[in-house]
Structure 1
Amino acid sequence: MNLDKNHFIHPTSSLKQQHETGAPFIFTEGKGVYLTDITGKKVLEGMASLWNVNVGYGRQELAEAARQQMEKLAYTNSFSSMSNEPAIRLAAKLAEITPGNLSAVFYTSGGSEANDTAYKLARYFWKINGQPQKKKIIARKKAYHGVNIGATSATGISPFHQMTESPAPDFLHVDNFSVRALRECIEREGADTIAAFIAEPVQGAGGVNIAPDGYFQEIRKICDEFHVLFIADEVITGFGRTGKMFGCDHYNVVPDIMLVAKGITSGYLPLGAVIVTDAIHKQLVEKSEGVLLHGYTYSGHPTSCAVALKNLEIIENENLIENARLMGEELLKGLKKLEQDTKIVGDVRGLGLIGAVEIIDPATNRRFPTPIAPLIGTEAAKRGLIVRTVVFEGMDTIVFSPPLVINKQEVNELVSILKKSILEVEKKV
């Protein structure tokens, strides 16, 4: 514990609390939907860690895929047109399973890098087409796109901007579900200055906010009307999380650029990707000159790509997308029942195995003056369930995204622990 406090700076954590109290859990083992810590305590991972352990913990197939690839070719770079077999095969697989004419892949190490890459490629696309002034990126309020400088600037959650008070220029934000707001923003700024609009099919870290019917179809039309590229950030929603392979599949909308990471390897190794349409790829090939001066040391990492291929095989062979749909319905049904069984549960929502529960003050039907969700999260952890709480931008929300291998008994366990935790906190508020 002291080694952790003295030497490990934790991401997205309270540094003061970490140094004073140490880690709430130090995990040593995972199996299925459960984790075990150094004390032997077993907990149900209701978040699949960071929305990403889709095939569950302890998959020997993925360890074996990594071992075999490491023994053969652990790593080689992809600069100067060098290539490797797993990266090529995975790119072809992604072209096969993504919607529409998305067909060409640029690899990154994760979602934040995928976001920054997409912004650069969008701006570069317009530059080689003679419109270098098209460089602004429109994102949405309550959006989360990562923590690199560009990704942080696109993120529509203000506390992320307050860390350094230095967002990058040319990033704009509109109301998250207002088609009109997007149109007005483009018209106000001038379509000839807008490179792209970016959106998550379901806003994850911003509170699991699900778009109203018709929203993405109208967004797609506006982007086409004003010649603005549409970027879909599927970092959280990709690879079965929503009960379909990709979140965009729910809306029958094909983006110009799709971003993936997290579930592509189920978190077993770092990997992300930017996938572009045939049309964009053709323009990049025909009109770019010299070297594309963008890339990461681990772009197209052979071992990560080999693990991703095996991970996608598991998702398909075990019908985990259908399981996500069915268990998502069970989870939503259980969470909806909390509205009747407790006093402080407000709006409940979900799509596949991603969901949220809003906490409200029954006296006012509004948020408590001090957020209550973190108290429930702490109580749940004591009882053996890990959830995540969202308390910024006026929210007081508990969110979920368990592994796609979860079964009905485990869904019931999740809901039962959550109910007991809410009822315990209700006594104190």
Structure 2
Amino acid sequence: MSNIKSNKVQKSTNDNTNSLDLLTLEEIEAMSMSDTLANFSRYINPHLAKAFSLLGLAKRKPVSALGCIIKMDDKSEVLDMTGGLAILNVGHNHPRIIEARAKWAMKNGLEVWKFIPSPYHAGLAENLGRILPGDLELAFFCNSGAEANEGAMKLASKYAGKNRDLIVYTDISFHGKTHATLSVSGSENPKNSPFKTMSGCLEIPYGDSNALREMILEHKKQFQKSRVSTFIVEAIRSEGVICPPETYMQEVRKICDDYDVTLICDEVFCGFGRTGQFFAFNHSGITPDIVTISKAFGAGKATFAAYITKPSIFKKAYGSMEEATLHSTTYNGFAEELITAIEGINIIYDEKLVEKSRENGNYLLSELEKLKLIHPSILKEVKGIGLLVCIKTENIASKALNFIPAVGNTKSMLKKITTAGIISKLYEDYDILTFTPLHDPSQILLAPPLVITKREIDRFISALSEVLNSNFLEHGAHLVKNSMATR
């Protein structure tokens, strides 16, 4: 609980016209990390608060960020190798993004263009149409990747008609955590989900185009057309950096064409240069029917997303005045978000960040391969494409378990998240921020800003090398120490 104003929190009554002693922005900015963590635990999520403490992430307070560097209140400079989970492709606080948003704010521009056509709305959609292949040119703007994917699935369903009500997804996939997107996220294990998932969702193995054909044919037996309307897929699976067989996406495209199945490519994580192409599906040369985007689309400043489709699909689904707004959202293309996305895309092209992603990604991967040769018992696998790189570790904490006292569920925790020691040590001792994905805690996933330099990559490699050369009993002790601090 924050001690800034009072140890006793003042609560509102049903008569909320009474004045409350609310925290001001200045007071919140002055809040200590200990108060922040306490408030996070009480008002947001106590288990996430414990995770922050466990990994040593709640000791220092960020004061500014630029490019790949986060400056902390103790004067240290942390190298961000996470890119905010692929949000920060143009880096933290890119000067052109800051300038564009500041200019807009200073002129008191109209933010909400609900009843007047917005040139920013139309202009960004045109830019996307120029970037995307074929006739992918009709865009719908929204707020998150999950919302974009759900909107795309609704569009595909409306296009297909009520008699074709089945959606195919892959076992290795993540498309969001809304009701519909959770139902098609194989990595979330929807069949055993604690939530009731949507019916009509069919799972097939990732990378197996024959499985898609067989699933379509299986549900065609009693119908002139298969009941399968949609296939949603990531051209490259971001978590684990899983690339399908070389011809997979071409085969999928042909199968979808043969059976009139709408192909949705989820580019939420891999879009905007992350994999060394502007979009991951560009590696295969195909044109999807619908593309979904988010994360880096907002250039690190806007919570922004979209789906883009072909005129033929939009016309059949929403092609009348009565149906034109069947799918809509309140926060559809606020001007400052549109301006941010327009400038962010131009930065990617002007600074050749797609090319830099390929070049620096190859360099990072080659340096990690050298470390793997030195530490084969620790680094099980390194793989990557562009600046999306996965380090898979062996169970580095297993030897430490026999020497660590039982503290709550510490031993079981260490068995599950053996990379946590590396992540914690990199951050606390070397000022390097990394992360492990939710679905496979044996991995460290690297997705740094595309503006990263070779010098910054060398800094990361040097730090990781020292961590790998250290006594791994220290990693277990390090985690237990942090774990005990959360009790």
Structure 2 length as normaliser, TM-score?
0.79
Computed over aligned residues only, the root mean square deviation of the Cα atoms, in angstroms, reads 2.7
Q: Deviations over 1:294-326 (max 9, x none)?
A: 222111111101111111111111111111111
Corresponding residue for 2:335? 302
1:176-195 equivalences in 2 (<5 Å): 176-190=206-220, 192-195=226-229
Q: Deviations over 1:162-211 (max 9, x none)?
A: 7742222222222112222222222233463222111112212x322122
Choose which of 33, 47, 58 in structure 2 pairs with 1:23: 58
Corresponding residue for 2:168? 138
Q: Provide the C-alpha distance between the structure 1 equivalents of 2:374 and 2:388, rounded to a whole number of angstroms.
A: 21
Residue 361 of structure 1, CA deviation: 5.3
1:199-238 equivalences in 2 (<5 Å): 199-204=233-238, 206-238=239-271
1:28-177 equivalences in 2 (<5 Å): 28-70=63-105, 71-78=107-114, 82-127=116-161, 132-158=162-188, 164-177=194-207
Q: Does structure 2 conserve the Cα–Cα contact (< 8 Å) formed by 1:349 and 1:357?
A: yes
Choose which of 384, 390, 402 in structure 2 pairs with 1:356: 390
Corresponding residue for 2:37? 5
Change beyond 3 A, Cα 1:175–1:11: farther
Change beyond 3 A, Cα 1:212–1:24: farther
Q: Provide the C-alpha distance between the structure 2 equivalents of 1:25 and 1:179, rounded to a whole number of angstroms.
A: 48
Give % identity: 27
Q: Does structure 1 conserve the Cα–Cα contact (< 8 Å) formed by 2:175 and 2:266?
A: yes
1:361-380 equivalences in 2 (<5 Å): 370-380=416-426
Q: Provide the C-alpha distance between the structure 1 equivalents of 2:168 and 2:93, rounded to a whole number of angstroms.
A: 40
Q: Provide the C-alpha distance between the structure 2 equivalents of 1:185 and 1:298, rounded to a whole number of angstroms.
A: 37
Q: Does structure 2 conserve the Cα–Cα contact (< 8 Å) formed by 1:348 and 1:358?
A: yes
Q: Provide the C-alpha distance between the structure 1 equivalents of 2:219 and 2:455, rounded to a whole number of angstroms.
A: 52
Q: Does structure 1 conserve the Cα–Cα contact (< 8 Å) formed by 2:92 and 2:300?
A: no
Q: Deviations over 1:244-293 (max 9, x none)?
A: 11111111011000001111122211111100023213334546744522
Choose which of 413, 436, 448 in structure 2 pairs with 1:389: 436
Residue 125 of structure 1, CA deviation: 1.2
Change beyond 3 A, Cα 1:243–1:288: same
Change beyond 3 A, Cα 1:137–1:11: farther
Q: Deviations over 1:99-144 (max 9, x none)?
A: 22211100011211111111111111122xxxx1223221112211
1:411 maps onto 2:444 in alignment: no
SS at match of 1:295: coil
Q: Aligned AA for 1:46?
A: M
Choose which of 289, 292, 295 in structure 2 pairs with 1:256: 289
Q: Aligned AA for 1:4?
A: T
SS at match of 1:192: coil
Q: Does structure 2 conserve the Cα–Cα contact (< 8 Å) formed by 1:159 and 1:392?
A: no
Q: Aligned AA for 2:275?
A: T
Which 5+ residue runs of structure 1 have no aligned equivalent? none
Corresponding residue for 2:20? none
Q: Provide the C-alpha distance between the structure 2 equivalents of 1:122 and 1:259, rounded to a whole number of angstroms.
A: 12
Residue 217 of structure 1, CA deviation: 1.0
Choose which of 360, 368, 379 in structure 2 pairs with 1:327: 360
Aligned length: 417
Change beyond 3 A, Cα 1:160–1:68: farther
SS at match of 2:436: strand
Q: Aligned AA for 1:42?
A: E
Residue 159 of structure 1, CA deviation: 6.2
Change beyond 3 A, Cα 1:50–1:167: same
Q: Aligned AA for 1:91?
A: A
SS at match of 1:217: helix
Residue 25 of structure 1, CA deviation: 5.0
SS at match of 2:246: coil
Q: Does structure 2 conserve the Cα–Cα contact (< 8 Å) formed by 1:77 and 1:299?
A: no
Change beyond 3 A, Cα 1:380–1:11: farther
Choose which of 276, 279, 284 in structure 1 pairs with 2:309: 276
Change beyond 3 A, Cα 1:45–1:194: same
Change beyond 3 A, Cα 1:25–1:165: farther
Q: Aligned AA for 2:36?
A: D
Change beyond 3 A, Cα 1:179–1:11: farther
Structure 1 length as normaliser, TM-score?
0.89
SS at match of 1:241: coil
Q: Deviations over 1:225-246 (max 9, x none)?
A: 2211110111111111111111
Q: Does structure 2 conserve the Cα–Cα contact (< 8 Å) formed by 1:133 and 1:192?
A: no
Change beyond 3 A, Cα 1:426–1:58: same
Q: Aligned AA for 2:447?
A: S
Residue 72 of structure 1, CA deviation: 4.2
Structure of higher CA gyration radius: 2
Which 5+ residue runs of structure 2 have no aligned equivalent? 1-32, 399-413, 477-487
Q: Provide the C-alpha distance between the structure 2 equivalents of 1:361 and 1:64, rounded to a whole number of angstroms.
A: 47
Change beyond 3 A, Cα 1:141–1:72: same
Change beyond 3 A, Cα 1:322–1:39: same
Q: Provide the C-alpha distance between the structure 2 equivalents of 1:126 and 1:12, rounded to a whole number of angstroms.
A: 41
Q: Provide the C-alpha distance between the structure 2 equivalents of 1:121 and 1:95, rounded to a whole number of angstroms.
A: 18
Q: Provide the C-alpha distance between the structure 2 equivalents of 1:57 and 1:277, rounded to a whole number of angstroms.
A: 33
Q: Provide the C-alpha distance between the structure 2 equivalents of 1:285 and 1:53, rounded to a whole number of angstroms.
A: 34
